[in-house]
Structure 1
Amino acid sequence: MNFNYHIPTKLLFGKGQLNTLHLEKLPGKKALIVISSGKSIRANGYLDRLEKELSLAGISYTVFDKILPNPIKSHVMEGAAIAKESGCDFVIGLGGGSSIDSAKSIAVMAANEGDYWDYIFGGSGKGLPVPNSPLPIVAITTTAGTGTEVDPWTVITKEDTEEKIGFGYEKTFPVLSVVDPELMLTVPPHLTAYQGFDALFHSTEGYINKTAYVMSDLYALKAIELIGRSLPTAVNHGRDETAREEVALANTLSGMVESTSGCTSEHSLEHALSAYHPSLPHGAGLIMISRAYYTHFAKAGCCDSRLIDMARALGVKDAREPMDFVNALVQLQKDCGVDELKMSDYSIEKEELTKYVDKAYETMGGLFEVDPAPLSREDCLLILKDSYR
C-alpha cells in the first residue's frame, strides 16, 4: 500500500462545461488553439464556442489547424514556430487525442530549442532532458478515446523514419481540461467505436500491467464497466446523452489509468502498424489485434484472475475462466459493428508482418517490459498472423 500519486489536472466534467471556461483562471494571455485539419471542429461550431469563451475571458488567440489523425513531427515543429512568432504563452488542444497530443508536443517545443526528436526516448530519438518547462496546456476533448486530457502522454510520428513513439513527463499534464459530452454527440458511429475501444484497451492494458496498483485498478475496472455497458448504445444511438456521458467518463478514467499504470505491448504493436500506415485509425488497429493478443495471455496463465475480473466488469457476472474476457471482448466488438476489420484494407501485407514486430521493439520496446509475462518476437509475430485478414 505504499505508492505515489500525481494527477495535477483540474477537470471540468459534464454537459455544458465548455460554457463555463471563461470563468476559469486561464494560464496565460494569448493561446495557440490546436485543431485538426478536418472540418468537424469548425462545422459543429466547437471552435466558435471556444473563441467566444476566450473573448469573454479577455484572451487573444491564434489558430493552428493542420493536425492529422496520426499527428506528425513536422506539424509539431510548425505549430511551435507559430506559437513563438505569435507570442502565445499557453496552448489549447481542441478536438480528439491527435489535437491534444499535438498541443502537448507543441507546448514543449514552443519553450525549447532544437528538434522534437531530440527529447524522444526510443528509436532514433536522442533522449535528451527537456531544458525548459513547456507552455501550460489546456485540453478540450471532443472525443472519448485516449484519455489524454488527464495524462501526460503524447504520441507523435516522425514521418521520414516511420517511427510512432510516445513521450511525456510530469510537466506535460494539462493544467486544465474540459470533458463536455455534449461535444461528442456528433462523432460518427465507426469513430465512436474506434475511440471507445482505445479507451477500453488503455484500461485493460493498465489492469494487467506489472505496474498496476490499487489506484490504477479502481480507475481501470470502472472504465471497463462503463464501456461494456454504454459503448454499444453510443455507437448505435449516438444522440443518447446518457451513453455519451458514461463513455466520456470511461475515457477520462482510462487517462487516469495511463497516469497511474500504463500501456502494455498491445500499443507498441499497433503503433508500429499505424506508423507505416497512417490511414489506419489507432483504435481500429488495436481492435484488429486484440483478440489474439489477449488470447495469448489467457493461455499463458500469467494473469488469470485479472482477466476474469475484466470479464466481470464487461458484464459476464459468472465469469470463471480467463477466456471469458476474450469472448466478452469479441462480443462487444460485434455489438459495436467492428468485428470484421481487416488489416488488408489498409495495405498491410501478411508477408511484411515481421517488420512491424521489429519496429515495435525498436521504437517502444519498453512496454514489453511491463507485460504480465514475457512476449517474444515469435509470440508477437503469431499474434499478428492470427489477427491478419
Structure 2
Amino acid sequence: MACSSVRYGAGCTQEVGMDCKNLGAKKVCLMTDGNLVNLPPVKTAMESLERANVPYKIYDKVRVEPTDESFKHAIDFAKAENFDVFVAVGGGSVIDTCKAANLYSTDPEADLLDYVNAPIGKGLPVRHELKPLIAVTTTAGTGSETTGVAVFDYLPTQSKTGIAQRALRPTLGIVDPLHLQYMPERVTAYSGIDVLCHALESYTALPYNERSPAPTDPILRPAYQGSNPMSDIWCQHALRVTSKYIKRAVFDSDDLEARSAMHNASSYAGIGFGNSGCHLCHGMSYPIAGLVRDYKPEGYKGSGPIVPHGLSVCVTSPAVFRWTGSSCPERHIHSAEMLGADVTNVKKADAGRVLSDTLLKILDELKVPNGLEDVGYSSQDIPAMVKGALPQKRLLNLSPKPVEADHLSEIYENSMKIY
C-alpha cells in the first residue's frame, strides 16, 4: 500500500511556500494551465512562495487532456531550468504533466517511451530519485494528488496511455476545498463521476491474490495490483460520500460542504485505485477520448474538441457493470446499495443489472449525454475503439472477467445509447 501524504483544509494552499522552504528549495517549478494561471488558486500559491522568499518560475502551457507533445514541451522546460522542487496547481492534467516533467528531467537521457506502459512503451521501472512534488488539486475527480499515474494522449496511435510508477506519487497532496468554487458545472459533473468509476472499478477489480506469476523483483510489481483489503476500505467510503454529495456539488457551486466532501472523496478513491487499479471503464475510455472529432463540451473553455476524461469513462459504465456482474455479484450488489439502491431480495443473477440501473439513474440526474452517439460516434467507429482499447493491458488485465475483442465490441455497441 503506497500513498502520498495529504493535507486537507480550507486555505491550506497558503502553506505551500513554507513547505518548499522546508524542502530546501532553491528554484521551484510552478506548473499550471492557461485558465488557472489568472485565478486565485495559482495566485495564492505564488503569494505563498513569495512570502517564504522561495524563487520560482511559472509554466502555464499545460494542455487540458495532455498529449505526448504537450508532455514533451513541459519536460523540455523542466530540463532547461534545473528545478529542485515541483509544485502543480490544477486538475489531473496539470498534476500528471508535472509528474512527467519531474520524471524525465531527473533522467534527462530517457526517451519518452522508456517509462510509458507496455505495449505502447517499454514500461521500464524507475530506478532513479525524483525531486519533491507538491500537488495542489483544484478539481474533485482524478485523485492524481495521491497516485503514481500520469495519463496522456499518444498522438501517433490516437489513443490514451500513461505512466504508472510508484515513484511518480507526489510528495504531498494539498486538498484545499476553497479552490472548488471555480469549477464549472460540467467540469464538476464529469470529474465527480470519475471518482465514482475509480471506486467502482477498483472495488470490483480482479483480486490481487488471483494474479500470477509473481514478479521476479518487487520493483516490477505493478502499481495497479488488483482489489485488496486496504483499497476496499477507501473505495467503499468514496462511494458512500459520492452518492450523498455529488448532485449537490454539481448543481450548486456555493454548496461548499458538498464540494468539500467530493474533494475528499476524490482523494479517498485515489488512494484506493492508486493501489488496486481500474479496469474496463477506464481501459475503454482511452480511444473514446483519443478518437474525438468535433465534440466540444460546455464549461471546458479554450480546450478545443475533447471528450472530457470523466465523461469518456462513465459513458460505458452501465454496460460494463451489467457485463461484469456475474464475476463478483456480492460486490456489485453491495456497490449498488452504497449508491442508494434498495437491494432487498436482489438475486446474484441480477447483480449486474441492479448496479447498471443504479448508475443510469445517477447519470441521468447529472445530465450526462445519452451514450457514445451524443459525443459524436456511431457503430462504425467500434472497430477503431476496440483497436485502441486492446493495448491497455494494465487495465484490461484487472477485469474481473477475462475480456476479448468481441466483449469490448459488445460493450461499446451497448453504450451507443444508454437511456
Q: Deviations over 1:31-80 (max 9, x none)?
A: 2122123x2x1343221111011112222111111222210122222222
Alignment of 1:277-292 (within 5 A): 277=292, 279-292=306-319
1:235/1:59 Cα in 2 relative to 1: closer, same or farther (>3 Å)?
same
**Structure 2 CA distance for aligned equivalents of residues 375 and 35 of structure 1:** 38
**Structure 2 CA distance for aligned equivalents of residues 251 and 90 of structure 1:** 24
Which range moved further: 79-88 or 98-107? Answer: 79-88
**Structure 1 CA distance for aligned equivalents of residues 315 and 283 of structure 2:** 14
1:369 has 2:369 as partner: no
Structure 2: runs of 5+ lacking an equivalent: 207-225, 293-304
| 1:96 Cα deviation from its structure 2 partner | 0.5
Q: Which of 195, 200, 211 is equivalent to 2:196?
A: 200
Q: Does structure 1 conserve the Cα–Cα contact (< 8 Å) formed by 2:126 and 2:165? A: no
Structure 1: runs of 5+ lacking an equivalent: none
1:296 has 2:323 as partner: yes
1:98/1:49 Cα in 2 relative to 1: closer, same or farther (>3 Å)?
same
**Structure 1 CA distance for aligned equivalents of residues 362 and 373 of structure 2:** 22
TM-score (norm 1): 0.92
Q: Which of 50, 59, 81 is equivalent to 1:86?
A: 81
1:388/1:17 Cα in 2 relative to 1: closer, same or farther (>3 Å)?
same
Q: Does structure 2 conserve the Cα–Cα contact (< 8 Å) formed by 1:118 and 1:127? A: yes
Q: Which of 265, 275, 292 is equivalent to 1:260?
A: 275
**Structure 2 CA distance for aligned equivalents of residues 256 and 42 of structure 1:** 28
Alignment of 1:11-22 (within 5 A): 11-22=6-17
Aligned to 1:77: 72
Aligned to 2:33: 36
TM-score (norm 2): 0.86
1:20/1:129 Cα in 2 relative to 1: closer, same or farther (>3 Å)?
closer
Q: Deviations over 1:90-131 (max 9, x none)?
A: 221111101001110111111112321122122431333445
| 1:342 Cα deviation from its structure 2 partner | 4.2
**Structure 1 CA distance for aligned equivalents of residues 400 and 376 of structure 2:** 31
Q: Deviations over 1:198-220 (max 9, x none)?
A: 11111000000112121111101
Q: Which of 330, 338, 341 is equivalent to 1:316?
A: 341
**Structure 2 CA distance for aligned equivalents of residues 260 and 128 of structure 1:** 18
Amino acid at match of 1:152: G
Q: Which of 161, 168, 173 is equivalent to 1:165?
A: 161
Q: Percent identity?
A: 26
1:307/1:66 Cα in 2 relative to 1: closer, same or farther (>3 Å)?
same
| 1:378 Cα deviation from its structure 2 partner | 0.8
Amino acid at match of 1:57: A
Aligned to 1:154: 150
| 1:332 Cα deviation from its structure 2 partner | 1.2
Alignment of 1:326-365 (within 5 A): 326-338=356-368, 340-362=369-391, 364-365=392-393
Q: Does structure 1 conserve the Cα–Cα contact (< 8 Å) formed by 2:235 and 2:273? A: no
Which range moved further: 200-209 or 118-127? Answer: 118-127
1:11 match: secondary structure: strand
| 1:361 Cα deviation from its structure 2 partner | 1.0
Q: How many residues align?
A: 378
Q: Does structure 1 conserve the Cα–Cα contact (< 8 Å) formed by 2:120 and 2:161? A: no
Q: Which of 305, 310, 313 is equivalent to 2:330?
A: 305
Aligned to 1:102: 97
Aligned to 1:10: 5
Amino acid at match of 1:34: M
Aligned to 1:230: 245
| 1:13 Cα deviation from its structure 2 partner | 0.7
Q: Does structure 2 conserve the Cα–Cα contact (< 8 Å) formed by 1:111 and 1:135? A: yes
